[in-house]
Structure 1
């Protein structure tokens, strides 16, 4: 027992009273959160997007379910084959498939892909060099949705502006590559092209895996995408 003196009178107070009150509040809160959890439902698309946002912000890789892991493994296989084919066709290509799974970045000279621009009918004509049809078909196969795992891969093609944001040649080159990839079977829904800041005569292919139920690519697009 403990006593408190007030106005000359001793008020008797149980020592364990505060502790009992604390436990009561704790268990009430615990029951409340258990109830919320039992009533809540998870949306895979939103959950995956939140997980990816945390990974991008803090540079960490969070554990993913078996379906997502299988999809990423399949993406790495596909993209690895694309990277090897690119180097075989364009020896100057620099391939980066490290870091996060399900990504590939290929940097190569624009002159290794495009014929010199010509003037025709008062306009500029840019064409992709012939003899690379097998490479474009392999890219189309890589980004085709996988029915088994739910895997999707997005493809971006970016042309450097050479320090001149108003240059028209990179725009023509991006358009020519878009037409070539579309003709090879790449779905327009899986592809985007654009111009970015960078060194002249440089282009990049960027592949981003999209795991099952995800609402956005595993890795965000780099700056420079229109």
Structure 2
């Protein structure tokens, strides 16, 4: 398969450069770039709850595209298919966290949960308030991961932008995650060239096991 790239080692840095350059001054990078790749809002003043996310850059890097008003405050970008380091996550969180605290929106990958979790512990050691929400299912499918986090980014980001505190923002993020999982479970994923299979029938309600797109674990009579 042909790939439209320059140097393999420059893929993530060039992608971040493009996102920042195309933002019209709304986004910035932290010092330490490109070794520590953190994209953040240029207008952030730490007055409200900061929303931080990130992960490996297998989606060129997807999370950086969600930074902005009413969405993420910063995105911490790892290498291709590799989570950001603990130090990278720590720097990215500290840079945007003020008295109102921050909320980390983390995908359900081992590396992300481990490194963001360790970084959160170190942030708390500085006396700052930080909470963590795991915002995706156990699905290995990249489309599931991006959709799950997008719902949480938007719901929590809107509340934070309008002055909600960290607890309210975190609860909204959890609710958005659950709503996504249940809705996706009933729809299911369709691979290219395959036919969609209905899962929610007229007289049945499906109970989601998770959001992987697999068949529901339990069906029961729908309440009327």
Query: Which TM-score tier does this pair reach, normalised by the shorter chain?
Result: 0.3 to 0.5
Report the structure, 1 or 2, having the larger strand content: 1
TM-score by length of 2: 0.34
Larger radius of gyration: 1
Q: Kindly indicate whether structure 1 or structure 2 has the higher relative contact order, using CA contacts under 8 Å at least 6 residues apart.
A: 1
TM-score by length of 1: 0.33
